[in-house]
């Protein structure tokens, strides 16, 4: 048994709008808390017509105000898009508003296309400052030192726990080196899952935040009363991946009965490869798949994306997954350190 958490992309669906997407995220977070999920994370994406969580810290304030105890955070903030000081101030503010509930997951991808990355003032030079930026961010969130000239107010001494997010061996090695908990994006980039987890565990160095290696992995889950219904609902995210592959930027699609005519044979093969860890089906079918995934990866925590167009079906999927009997409530506050 491992803790279950939620990754929410605040999907903007066809025939809907941003306000509705954010209201749906609020409903999802409330249900996650009621059904004993451990945390709810939102991800930073920009310029995507199907994602409403670009201003991630602001959306987290919306989620925090609607809940009481569940941990909330970023899955993740794309740190090269930002000044570490600004992120320290944003998440220091959240930590002051919602004490002992905030996580700061970090990634280094743009979270968008290169034109939008340029508009974000992202540093596109070949100099990789990611590790130094993480260390700078840690200093802003730590207790201040007498020699420190730049301080984050809010931020200093909030000690918001950092997470490393990634889909490559680079992120696994860096998380191990820095002694930070690690979350692997196997829900959309499965290829290096086992190599990354092995490298992270083998190279982990304990830190003030994290005494031992702590691993989370992501999966997509679409659970319904029947396998047929779940497969139908899953066609929404399959269309989304095909659209991304074709460079089509549109809101999150309604499910379709006609997926085979929507994609080519090569695109079908691409979907099968990228989404091979997706949990799609009835509760029993998903439970069997999930048991095998947890056993194979030996993860400490599972984070679940539920890419379903209809909010009621999305909420039902989250409830059914919570009732598989495979999740547990947890007392983790500093990751790798248990109450």
Q: Is the Cβ–Cβ distance between 225 and 258 less than 8 Å?
A: no
User: What are the pLDDT tens digits along the chain (339 aa)?
Assistant: 899 999 999 999 999 999 999 999 999 999 999 999 999 999 999 999 999 999 999 999 999 999 999 999 999 999 999 999 999 999 999 999 999 999 999 998 876 777 877 787 766 665 589 999 999 999 999 999 999 999 999 999 999 999 999 999 999 999 999 999 999 999 988 899 999 999 999 999 999 999 999 999 999 999 999 999 999 999 999 999 999 889 999 999 999 998 888 888 899 899 999 999 999 999 999 999 999 999 999 999 999 999 999 999 999 999 999 988 777 755 444 443 332
Please give the pLDDT value at position 125: 61
DSSP 118-182: HHTT---SS---HHHHHHHHHHHHSPP-TT-----TTTTT--PPEEEEESSHHHHHHHHHHT--E
Q: State the Cα torsion 41-296-169-59 to the nearest 10°.
A: 0
Please give the pLDDT value at position 111: 67
Please give the pLDDT value at position 117: 76
Q: Is the Cβ–Cβ distance between 34 and 14 less than 8 Å?
A: no
SS3 content of the chain, % helix, strand, coil (to 5): 45, 15, 40
Radius of gyration in angstroms for the set of CA atoms belonging to the chain, rounded to a whole number:
19
DSSP assigned state of 82: S
- Bridge partners of 163? 105
Q: Is the Cβ–Cβ distance between 32 and 6 less than 8 Å?
A: yes
Q: Locate all alpha helices (DSSP H) within 182-324, ordered by sequence.
A: 193-203, 227-246, 259-262, 265-274, 283-297, 311-322
Q: Locate all alpha helices (DSSP H) within 247-309, ordered by sequence.
A: 259-262, 265-274, 283-297
Of the candidates 332, 328, 337, the residue with the CA atom closest to the CA atom of residue 4: 328
* pTM: predicted TM-score of the whole model, two decimal places: 0.92
Q: Is the Cβ–Cβ distance between 162 and 177 less than 8 Å?
A: no
């Amino acid at each position: 048994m491992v803790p279950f958490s939620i990754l929410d992309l605040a999907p903007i669906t066809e025939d809907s709008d941003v306000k509705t997407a954010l209201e749906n995220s609020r409903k999802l977070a409330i249900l996650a808390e009621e059904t004993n999920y451990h945390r709810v994370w939102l991800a930073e994406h920009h310029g995507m017509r199907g994602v409403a969580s670009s201003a991630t810290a602001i959306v987290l304030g919306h989620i925090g105000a609607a809940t009481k105890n569940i941990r909330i955070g970023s899955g993740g903030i794309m740190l090269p898009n930002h000044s570490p000081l600004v992120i320290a101030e944003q998440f220091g503010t959240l930590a002051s508003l919602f004490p002992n509930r905030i996580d700061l997951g970090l990634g280094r991808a743009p979270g968008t296309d290169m034109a939008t990355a340029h508009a974000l003032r992202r540093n596109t030079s070949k100099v990789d400052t990611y590790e130094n930026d993480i260390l700078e961010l840690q200093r802003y969130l730590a207790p201040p030192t007498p020699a420190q000239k730049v301080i984050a107010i809010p931020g200093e001494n909030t000690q918001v726990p950092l997470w490393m997010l990634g889909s490559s061996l680079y992120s696994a090695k860096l998380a191990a080196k820095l002694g930070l908990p690690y979350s692997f994006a196997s829900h959309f980039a499965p290829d290096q899952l086992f190599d990354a987890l092995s490298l992270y565990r083998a190279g982990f160095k304990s830190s003030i935040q994290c005494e031992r290696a702590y691993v989370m992995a992501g999966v997509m889950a679409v659970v319904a009363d029947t396998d047929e219904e779940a497969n139908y609902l899953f066609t929404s995210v399959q269309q989304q991946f095909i659209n991304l592959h074709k460079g089509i930027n549109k809101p999150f699609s309604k499910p379709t009965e006609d997926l085979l005519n929507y994609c080519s044979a090569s695109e079908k093969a691409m979907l099968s490869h990228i989404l091979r860890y997706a949990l799609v089906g009835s509760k029993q079918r998903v439970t069997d798949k999930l048991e095998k995934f947890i056993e194979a990866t030996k993860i400490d925590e599972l984070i679940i994306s539920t890419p379903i167009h209809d909010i009621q079906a999305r909420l039902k999927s989250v409830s059914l997954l919570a009732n598989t009997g495979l999740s547990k409530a947890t007392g983790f506050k500093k990751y790798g350190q248990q109450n």
